[in-house]
Amino acid sequence: MKSAQGDLLLAIEYLKVKENLIQRIRNKFKISKLQESELLLISK
């Protein structure tokens, strides 16, 4: 059970980092919400 908790913490950590990166990219390129949703569709 301990490894599952560890995985969860890793996932949360990963999401925080990812969110941080998205925020930085957004600031860098001044991406609008519409463009962002298009980018998300492309990247899937």
Instruction: Give burial (CB, 10 Å; 0-12/13-18/19+) of 24.
Output: exposed
Q: Which residues contact 33 (CB under 8 A, 6 or more apart)?
A: none
Give the pLDDT of residue 40: 77
Q: For residue 19, what are its two tokens? A: 């969110």
1-44 pLDDT, tens per residue? Answer: 578 899 999 999 999 999 999 889 888 887 677 777 787 787 76
- For 14-23, the pLDDT digits (tens) are 999 999 998 8
Rounded to the nearest 5°, which phi and psi values hold at 42? -65, -40
